[in-house]
Structure 1
Amino acid sequence: MSQLFEPFEAKGLRFKNRIIHVPTTLNMSDPQGYATRRLAAAYGAIARGGYAATIVGATCVRRDGLINERMLGLYDEDYVIEFRDTVSEIKNNDSLAGIQLFYGGLIPGLGTTVPLKDGKGWIPDTVSWGPSDKYIIGNPKPGVIPTEEYENIVEAYAQAARRSKEAGFDFLSFHFCHGSLPHANLSLLSNQGRTDKYADRFLMIEEIIQRTQELCGKDYPIIPRLCVDENLKGGFDIEYFAEHYAPRLHALGISVLDCTFGSMLMAESRRQDISSNEFIGPSFYTPKVVNKDNIQTLRKLLVEKGIDMPLIGSANLITPDHLRTMVDEAGADFAGVCRLSLDDPDFPNKMMEGREDEIRLSTHTGASLLQGNIFGKGWAGSAQNPVFGRDDEYRIIPTNRPKKVVVVGGGSGGMEYAITAKEIGHDVVVLEKSDSLGGAMDWAGNYKNLPNMEMLRNQPNYHRKMMEKWGVEAKLGVEADVDTILAEKPDVVVLATGGKPAMPQIEGLEDALASSFACTIDEAMARKNAPELGQKVLVWGAGEGAELAVDLKIGGKEVRLLDVLPQYVPANYIGSRVWAIMALMPIYGVTFEGNRLLTSLKDGKATFQDSDGGEETIEADNIVICPGRAPNNDLADALRGKKVPVQVIGDARMPRSYGNAIHEAAYLVRQL
């Protein structure tokens, strides 16, 4: 029996279960850093989902420490009242309310699109500085903080902590990790050469907590988020932390330690199999429950030292089983989640109620932060869950004027539209030409050798479950035409027919496809009746095909990856996993060969022309054509003049990511 839903008490706090929404920046403040109604609704939605505690993400204690332009602030007394709406949303939903206090240090300047002045961030009046200039994160030439500024920032932390208590938060979190100033001071790498009191690397953290306790009382609970292992060559590790930092931290009387591992400092990772950054923000291919061993090691060392300190373990917890593993096997007292909170804020309640098959599990890709990365002028959201961040305006309002809605296409956009329309109260039918629902997302993860690809099926699996739950009628194997559609007597037609391969004009292509020497990536990845590729495979079109090339190479194939473009440009739907793909290519010996125009296919040979007009003919067992996508929207023209409104969504409008299709569907269906 899992401990996940057992209550837990820790120094002034009673947690109803062991699931905590750990802090992340949502970028939902106003331009001055004040909390907004959007922020309150977002955190209210999370709290309503059944979390024991909900921690508001990084809130800056001084404006010069901002790392993005919509970051929360607690700079003076004016900010207190604006947080009370957020606090009420969290506490009214029976979740403990926490807030994380932050100061940028070396991070300002990260993700800049403009040149930086020495020691400055990209936001006006922000600074990039640390205990030394030895290691960087954002600005390549950071400043070095003088002693008096350290002392001023310590006081800013404590005063922000006092304001947090006045706003009604149940406890404090401090951002002592990931390259913020307190972590930079803690680091063996960045804190070098100081001769003042802050040469004591733990002192800044100690002073912040002590001064906070002076202002807020020693009984005010504190749950700091600390880097326990930098995983950098020359940085501190878990053993060093347990020996030098944990005893001093425990002596300060904290309630719980929120453990993170890894650092954003620009230094070589100690572990070559997993980079330091992956312990903070796991990439698509990072092992699940990546910090399981780290938590086990930390727990063992703390027990040996007689330190009884509750721990939060997090990072790459994608499924309910991962949360149970973190608590029941790794030994953490709490499972900390963030990505899953955005994709499905209701997942704790669904777990508790035995509805785990209804959880909208993360795909971990496709622009998880669809509105723009939080370091790049955007607010945090979910590609899969269009409601997050729009919780007020996207509430379901039952209709008193039901319409007949015909959705053509059962992919991500089509199913999202159909499910929501049915939930609103409309009469819905989905016409799908294949014998199964899911669209491109159902075959996109059908790689045999790359890890974690099953996550791509999480979204179509969820959609199919919701189609079943809401009783949405789906007619499979129907090649919809105008007559078929109009026979349904629709009040509105939704074309979610997706994209199709943008096949180029190539001599011999038709014969090559017919003989199975050539196939498209759609065919190569199909779940049913996929061709058996030979030993020597050409992949033409790196935008779509780079990941396939790596997968085939891992599987022992001889692979060449060629593209007409001079450099690798990933397809839209590859999303955030592009960086991982680029890292894997050299590891497995996949070389991008650019400026290669495919001109002809004949007798098991492919001829390419380079930018100088030279030709190369390559013999292979197969060639996989990955030509990119074009809208499959011929029905839009065919339905014009038929006196029925037509909406075109997703790749049928313009090939992009599945997240765009879902978000377009969510918006348009609410306009019916």
Structure 2
Amino acid sequence: MSKLFEPFEAKGLTFKNRLIHVPTTLNMSDPQGYATRRLAAAYGSLAKGGYAATLVGATCVRRDGLINERMLGLYDEDYVIEFRDTVSEIKNNGSLAGIQLFYGGLIPGLGTTVPLEAGKGWIPGTVAWGPSNKYVIGNPESGVVPTEVYDDIVESFAQAGRRAKEAGFDFLSFHFCHGSLPHTNLSLLANQGRTDKYADRFYMCEAIIERTQELCGKDFPLIPRLCCDENLEGGYDIEYFAEHYAPRLHALGISVLDCTFGSMLGAPSRRADIHSTEFIGPSFYTPKVVNKDNIQKLRTELQKRGIDMPLIGSANLITPDHLRTMVDEAGADFAGVCRLSLDDPDFPNKMMQGREDEIRLSTHTGASLLQGNIFGKGWAGSAQNPVFGREDEYRIVPTNRPKKVVVVGGGSGGMEYALTADEIGHDVVLFEKAATLGGAMDWAGNYPGLPNMEMLRYQPSYHRKMIAKSKVDVRCGVDADVAMILAENPDVVVVATGARPIAIEVPGLAEARSSGLALRIDEAMRRDDPPAIGKRVVVVGAAEGAELAIDYKLRGHDVRLVEAGPAYAPANYIGSRVWAIMGMMAYAGLAAEPGLALKAIEGNEAVFAGADGEVRIEADTIVICSGREADNSLERAFMGKPVAVHVVGDARTPRSYANAIHEAAYLSRTVA
């Protein structure tokens, strides 16, 4: 039996279970940094989901330490009352309320798209500085913090802590990690050459905690978030942390240690297989439960020194089994969750109620295509869960005037629309021409040679499960035409037919497709009865085909990746995965060959036209990745007919599944 839902007592705190929503920067303040109703609703939804504790994310203690334009602040007394709504939402929903205090240090130099002045951050009025400028983050000419400014920042942390207590928070967290000023003060790399009291690398953290305890009381619970291993060449490791920092931290009487690992400082990673930053913000391909070994080692090192501190372990916990692994195997006292929280805030309750099959597991992708990166101009959201951050305006209101809704297309957008309309109380019919629901997401990510690609199937699996439990009338294997749709007497027709491959015509292609030599990408990747792939593979089109080419290469095929354009440019749904894809291409010894346009297929040769003349490549399999175009003929067919038409997802224009889900969520709520 897992310990996940056992209660836990720490100094001054009683946790109802072992699940913690760790600090997450949501960027939901107003332009001055005040807490908003949107923020309160978002954290309220997390608390309602069943967490033992819900932490409000990084809240800046001085304006010059901001790392984005909508970051929360606690700069003076005016900010206290604005937080009380958020605190009430969390505590009224049965969760302990915490808040993380933050000061940027070097991080404000990250995320700029223009050159920065020396010592400045990208937001006007912010600074990029640290204990030295030996190692930087973003701004290559970062400044050095004077002693008197260090003293003021320490006081700013403590005063912000006092205000947080007055706002009603149950405990405080401190951002002593990931490149913030307290972390760079801890760093063996960044903190070099000082001769003042801050040359003692732990002193800043210690001074913040001690001064906060003076203002808030020694018994007020503190759960600082510390980097326990920089994972950088020349940086401190777990043994060093346990020997030099943990005893002083423990002596300060903290309640729980929130453990992070890795650093954003510009130094080589100690591990070749996992970049240091992946322990902080795991990429799509990062191993699951990436900090399991780190937590186990930290626990062992602490026990050697007689230090007994409750630990929070986090990073890349995507499924319930990962949470159980962190607590039951790795030995953390708590599992800290972030991404899964946003994708399904109700997952703790679903676990407790035996409904794990209803959890909307994270695909670990897509959000950056919607609201933007949190280091820039965007608020945190979920690609899969369109309600997060819109809890008030997207609240389901049952209708007393049901409408007949016909959805054509059973991909991400079609299923999201059908589910929402059904929940509102409309009569919904869903047509899907394929034998099963899922659309492009059912074959996307079918790369057996690449890690973690199974996550892309989590979303259609969730949708199918919930459709099966709904009242939606699903009709698969039906290519619905206008007459068939009109026979249902619809009030609303939803065109969610997705996108089709862009047709290309070159001599010999039709014959090659008939013989099985040439395949479209969706055919090559289909899960049911997949085609045989030959030893020599030519992938035509790098935008869609790069990951497929890597997959084939890692599985032992001889692969050529050919691109008609001047360079590799990823498809728009790739998003932030592009950097990892380029890294894997280099690792696999694979490079896109640009400037080659498919001219013909002759026998077993793909013939390309290039700047230097004709290029012929022999192949056993040719995979055509020609891009996609909207399949919206139904929209045109219904023009002038007495029925409302909504177009969602790739039927509007090919993009990410996230766009389809969010469009469907909005439009389905407009049916009156």
**What is the TM-score when the length of structure 1 is the normalising length?**
0.99
Aligned match of 2:622 = 623
Which amino acid is 2:421 matched to? A
The aligned runs of 1:4-83 (5 Å cut-off) are 4-83=4-83
Q: Does 1:663 align with 2:662?
A: yes
Superposed CA deviations along residues 450-495 of structure 1, whole A, max 9, x for unmatched, are 1111111100010011101112111010011111111111111000
Alpha-carbon shift at residue 210 of structure 1 (Å): 0.4
Q: What secondary structure is seen at the aligned counterpart in 2 of 1:26? A: coil
Aligned match of 1:126 = 126
Q: What secondary structure is seen at the aligned counterpart in 2 of 1:204? A: helix
Structure 1 runs of 4+ with >4 Å offset? none
Q: Does 1:637 align with 2:627?
A: no
Aligned match of 2:645 = 646
Of 385-394 and 465-474, deviating more is 465-474
Q: What secondary structure is seen at the aligned counterpart in 2 of 1:640? A: coil
Aligned match of 1:407 = 407
Q: Does 1:338 align with 2:335?
A: no
Q: What secondary structure is seen at the aligned counterpart in 2 of 1:527? A: coil
Using the alignment, how far apart are the partners of 1:602 and 1:642 within structure 2?
48
Alpha-carbon shift at residue 5 of structure 1 (Å): 0.3
The aligned runs of 1:101-116 (5 Å cut-off) are 101-116=101-116
Q: What secondary structure is seen at the aligned counterpart in 1 of 2:534? A: coil
Alpha-carbon shift at residue 529 of structure 1 (Å): 2.9
Q: What secondary structure is seen at the aligned counterpart in 1 of 2:132? A: coil
Contact map agreement 1:369 1:379 (CA 8 A) in 2? no
Using the alignment, how far apart are the partners of 1:120 and 1:617 within structure 2?
53
Unaligned runs of 5+ in 2: none
Alpha-carbon shift at residue 583 of structure 1 (Å): 1.1
Using the alignment, how far apart are the partners of 1:255 and 1:509 within structure 2?
67
Using the alignment, how far apart are the partners of 1:575 and 1:473 within structure 2?
34
Q: Does 1:328 align with 2:328?
A: yes
Q: What secondary structure is seen at the aligned counterpart in 2 of 1:513? A: helix
The aligned runs of 1:524-603 (5 Å cut-off) are 524-603=524-603
Using the alignment, how far apart are the partners of 2:288 and 2:71 within structure 1?
29
Which amino acid is 1:470 matched to? S
Alpha-carbon shift at residue 614 of structure 1 (Å): 1.5
Which amino acid is 1:224 matched to? P
Using the alignment, how far apart are the partners of 1:425 and 1:194 within structure 2?
66
Alpha-carbon shift at residue 368 of structure 1 (Å): 5.3
Q: What secondary structure is seen at the aligned counterpart in 2 of 1:519? A: strand
Using the alignment, how far apart are the partners of 1:576 and 1:318 within structure 2?
18
Using the alignment, how far apart are the partners of 2:576 and 2:344 within structure 1?
19
Aligned match of 1:261 = 261
Aligned match of 1:314 = 314
Using the alignment, how far apart are the partners of 1:161 and 1:478 within structure 2?
61
The aligned runs of 1:137-536 (5 Å cut-off) are 137-367=137-367, 370-536=370-536
Q: What secondary structure is seen at the aligned counterpart in 2 of 1:84? A: helix
Superposed CA deviations along residues 22-69 of structure 1, whole A, max 9, x for unmatched, are 001100000000000000000000000000000000000000000000
Which amino acid is 1:475 matched to? R
Alpha-carbon shift at residue 506 of structure 1 (Å): 2.1
Using the alignment, how far apart are the partners of 1:440 and 1:368 within structure 2?
20
Which amino acid is 2:470 matched to? W
Superposed CA deviations along residues 102-123 of structure 1, whole A, max 9, x for unmatched, are 0000000211122211110111
Which amino acid is 2:459 matched to? Q
Q: What secondary structure is seen at the aligned counterpart in 1 of 2:367? A: coil
Contact map agreement 2:369 2:656 (CA 8 A) in 1? no
Of 589-598 and 198-207, deviating more is 589-598
Give aligned-pair identity as a percent. Answer: 77
Which amino acid is 1:96 matched to? L
Contact map agreement 2:570 2:578 (CA 8 A) in 1? yes
Q: What secondary structure is seen at the aligned counterpart in 2 of 1:22? A: strand
Using the alignment, how far apart are the partners of 2:323 and 2:566 within structure 1?
44
Using the alignment, how far apart are the partners of 1:261 and 1:28 within structure 2?
26
Alpha-carbon shift at residue 566 of structure 1 (Å): 1.4
Contact map agreement 1:370 1:380 (CA 8 A) in 2? no
Using the alignment, how far apart are the partners of 1:671 and 1:425 within structure 2?
13
Q: What secondary structure is seen at the aligned counterpart in 1 of 2:573? A: helix
Superposed CA deviations along residues 161-190 of structure 1, whole A, max 9, x for unmatched, are 000000000000000000000000000011
Superposed CA deviations along residues 527-580 of structure 1, whole A, max 9, x for unmatched, are 123221100000111111000001000100000111111121111222332221
Of 331-340 and 633-642, deviating more is 633-642
Using the alignment, how far apart are the partners of 1:159 and 1:595 within structure 2?
60
Superposed CA deviations along residues 68-94 of structure 1, whole A, max 9, x for unmatched, are 000000000000000000000000001
Which amino acid is 1:181 matched to? L
Alpha-carbon shift at residue 620 of structure 1 (Å): 0.8
Using the alignment, how far apart are the partners of 1:563 and 1:163 within structure 2?
57
Using the alignment, how far apart are the partners of 1:132 and 1:469 within structure 2?
59
Which amino acid is 1:438 matched to? G
* RMSD across aligned positions (CA): 0.9
Using the alignment, how far apart are the partners of 2:235 and 2:370 within structure 1?
34
Contact map agreement 1:369 1:381 (CA 8 A) in 2? no
Using the alignment, how far apart are the partners of 1:530 and 1:628 within structure 2?
21
Alpha-carbon shift at residue 505 of structure 1 (Å): 3.1
Of 143-152 and 576-585, deviating more is 576-585
CA gap of 1:369–1:300, structure 2 versus 1, over 3 A, is farther
Alpha-carbon shift at residue 613 of structure 1 (Å): 5.0
Alpha-carbon shift at residue 369 of structure 1 (Å): 6.6
Which amino acid is 1:521 matched to? I
Contact map agreement 1:62 1:156 (CA 8 A) in 2? yes
Using the alignment, how far apart are the partners of 1:219 and 1:566 within structure 2?
63
Count of residue pairs brought into register by the alignment? 671
Contact map agreement 2:369 2:575 (CA 8 A) in 1? no
Of 358-367 and 507-516, deviating more is 507-516
Using the alignment, how far apart are the partners of 1:584 and 1:617 within structure 2?
26
Which amino acid is 2:666 matched to? Y
Which amino acid is 1:54 matched to? T
